[in-house]
Amino acid sequence: MTTRAAGEPSLPTMEPNIQVHQLHKRYGRTVAVDGLTFTVRPGQVTGFVGPNGAGKSTTMRVILGLDRPDTGTATIGGRPYRSLRTPLREVGTLLDAAAVHPGRRARDHLLWMAHSNGLPRSRVDTVLEMVGLTDVARRRAGGFSLGMRQRLGIAGALLGDPPVLMFDEPVNGLDPEGIRWIRNLLRSLAGQGRAIFVSSHLMSELEDTADHLIVVGRGRLIADTSVRDMLAAASGGRVVLRTKDRAAAMTRLANAGATVAATGPDELVIGGLPADRVVNLLSQAGVPFSEVAGHRASLEQAYMDLTRDSVEFSGAVKESR
Amino acid sequence: MYALHMEWTKLRTVATTGWWLLGLVACTVGLAAFVSSTVDAVNCAPRCDFDLPRLSLSGVYIGQIAAVALGALAVTTEYDTAMVRTTLAAYPRRGAVLAAKLAVVTVVVLGCAALGVLGSLAVARGILPGNGFTRANGYPPLSLGDRATLRAYLGTVLYLGLIAILSAGVGATLRNTAATVSMVLGMLYVLPIVIPFLPTGAWRDALYRYSPMSAGLTVQATRGLNALPIGPWPGLGVLAGYAGAAVLAGALLFRLRDA
Ligand SMILES: Nc1ncnc2c1ncn2[C@@H]1O[C@H](COP(=O)(O)OP(=O)(O)OP(=O)(O)O)[C@@H](O)[C@H]1O
Ligand SMILES: [Mg+2]
């Protein structure tokens, strides 16, 4: 026995996180994951985005020890998943909402999960309540709608009250109300200090939810960045200007060395000049303008630009613009 | 222990388990009643040469289908729905998961097999005397006090347990309910159907010895043991060999393959 000073944690506290290092996984000739390295940190929602077939689900299966990587490691708080004795207390996951026995009652589905980790029966009722399935708990999962199954899957993830949560496309097929519910849930779970890892093939689904983004394409890391930085990089410090006298403004600003593009009858996007210089120049020249603002690129557009080269199944016929 | 608790909860919370167990008991007892009522001591003189304990256990020929289904389903339903990923995320030690599945389904099948076999004994004892198999005619009632009869009954219970294990092992290998059930039923029924049509001789005896069902059910024989190609317990041992090989293959693949 060692004595410890008061206030010192009695256990070596390992940050609850997910670490993926140099991960490679191929299925036959298909390279699914090609050298991924990233960390999912506590206290924030980390979005895992990439086009279809980018390797998101594969990465998650490897993290869970379901699929064996060819090389590289994936750990939870520094430990491989397969070495966890009661994994549901450490990582909650929803991989596939359809992965329930259709003939088993919702409550019994959670009950066997609870038993698998020595969790008390009361947790089952708690999580049923949290996801709003209490009233249908005695119904068989086979009769559940997609939204109800997603909720059941999320209940299973929350069962062990884990500090790390991982969801694969949780809003797939949900109605707007369900999407909003999941968003709020993810935000509040992250607010409690948990590490939340959530995948989607659509950036728009994560735009308002994620703090951090891991963007993948064809199994490779394309970006590992905060949402704020990604937006800033996408807008490139450009300025949007509204003016009645578009021609005069364009001439004046171009002469000052800015790149100017007309994006509407009274709208210009200006690069190469900060907003205060734009205001000064136009005021001096007596060019009327009504609005100067930082250009807000949509995350979706930034994402499309990033992943354009790595979309696996882009249509043969390009959509006309 | 958590793995056993998990698998027990899974098994008891799907209705199909109950139906198959009921089917196991009902088929075993029902067929015993039917066969017992079709034999008649009057037709054979001076003395019937029936192996009465074995006749009373005929229900196993159909009842074992339930054992096949239960053993297979314990493993393969998880693959029909990808639920195996939920299972292994909850309990990553795969050897323990498979062992728990086998233990739980085997215990349940053994329990119901015992019920079915005792039910068969009861109906046979009730029906046979009415067909002339009375003590007065020289046919003592079936009794577990008789060593050979006890072996036949106990052996039949074990036979059904081994069938469930065999089926679960094949299930872990094939990971598909329909494929597993077809494969195991094929293994069981094809040879016993073919063998009677073959000319007697070394070949036929060899096939009998390698047929999991023919060899395994030798454990039911109480008469004319010397004429059989294999002894009762060694016969059951053949089935155990098949079951062991299937479990070994299934366990190895379960550990190695991606879930
Ligand atoms: N079990 C498997 N066997 C063979 N190929 C696989 C397997 N799992 C994934 N793949 C392949 O690996 C690649 C990555 O697939 P993965 O499912 O991880 O992508 P994803 O990013 O989750 O895509 P989506 O957004 O469509 O869900 C794909 O080309 C896929 O076809
Ligand atoms: Mg996927």
CA of A58 to the centre of ligand 1 (A): 6
How far, CA to CA in Å, does A284 sit from each of A266, A275, A276, A281? Answer: 20, 14, 12, 5
Residue pLDDT, tens place only, A87-143: 999 999 999 988 899 999 999 999 999 999 999 999 999 999 999 999 999 999 999
Decide if pLDDT at B48 tops 80.
Answer: no
- Range of A8-12, A170-174, A217-221, B127-131 with top mean pLDDT: A217-221
- In our burial notation (b when 16+ CB lie closer than 10 A, e otherwise), range A213-244 reads bbbbbbbbbbbebebeebbeebbeebbbbbbe
* A-chain residues near B93 (CB < 8 A): 82
Residue A235: per-residue pLDDT: 67
8 Å CB contact of A64 and B83: no
Per the CB < 8 Å rule, is A99 touching B93? Answer: no
Our mutation pick for probing the ligand 1 site, out of A27, A34, A202, A220, counting the most ligand atoms within 8 A of Cβ, is: A27
Residue among A255, A251, A230, A208 at smallest CA distance from A305: A230
Please answer whether residues B55 and B35 qualify as being in contact, where contact means their C-beta atoms are separated by less than 8 angstroms: yes
pLDDT tens for each residue of A9-68: 444 457 889 999 999 999 999 999 999 999 999 999 999 999 899 999 999 999 999 999
How many angstroms separate the CA atoms of A28 and A32, rounded?
Answer: 10
CA-based nearest distance A68→chain B, Å: 6
3-state DSSP call for residue B156? helix
pLDDT of residue B70: 97
Mean pLDDT of A284-290: 87
Give the count of beta carbons closer than 10 Å to the beta carbon of residue B233: 13
Question: Which pLDDT value is given to residue B45?
Answer: 65
Domain ranges of chain B: 2-256
Whether pLDDT at B241 is above 80: yes
Backbone angles phi, psi at A286, to 5 degrees: 70, 25
Distance CA A159, CA A161 (A): 6
Nearest to B83 among A87, A99, A118 (CB): A99
Single-letter amino acid code for the residue at B47: R
Q: Do B13 and A93 touch (CB under 8 A)?
A: no
Q: How far is the CA of A27 from the centre of ligand 2 (A)?
A: 15
Chain A residues near residue B89 by CB distance under 8 angstroms: 64, 66, 87-88, 91, 93, 95
d(CA A223, nearest CA chain B) in Å: 28
In A65-104, the residues whose Cβ lies within 8 Å of chain B are: 65-68, 81-84, 86-88, 91, 93, 95-96, 98-104
Q: What DSSP letter does each residue of A231-286 carry, written as one string?
A: HHHHHTT-EEEE-S-HHHHHHHHHHTT-EEEEEETTEEEEESS-HHHHHHHHHHHT
How buried is residue A32: exposed, middle or buried, by Cβ count under 10 Å (0-12/13-18/19+)?
A: buried
Across B45-71, average pLDDT: 89
- B170 Cβ contact partners less than 8 Å away, ≥ 6 residues apart: B72, B180, B183, B184, B246, B250
Contact list in B for residue A68 (CB cut-off 8 A) is: 258
Whole-model pTM above 0.90?
no
Predicted confidence at residue A309, as pLDDT, reads 67
Q: Touching check for B259 and chain A: CB below 8 Å?
A: yes
A19-33, A162-176, A238-252, range with the lowest pLDDT: A238-252
Q: Which residues line ligand 1 (CB under 6 A)?
A: A 27, 30, 32, 50, 52-58, 201
CB-based contact B89:A87 (threshold 8 Å): yes
Q: Which helix (H) or strand (E) holds A30?
A: strand A30-40
Q: Which residue has the tokens 């939340």?
A: A196
Query: Quick check: A66 and B258 CB within 8 A?
Result: yes
Please give the Cα distance from B40 to A12 (Å, whole number): 79
ipTM above 0.95, yes or no: no
**What are the DSSP calls for A59-103, one per residue?**
HHHHHTTSS--SEEEEEETTB-GGG-SSGGGTEEEES-TT-S-TT
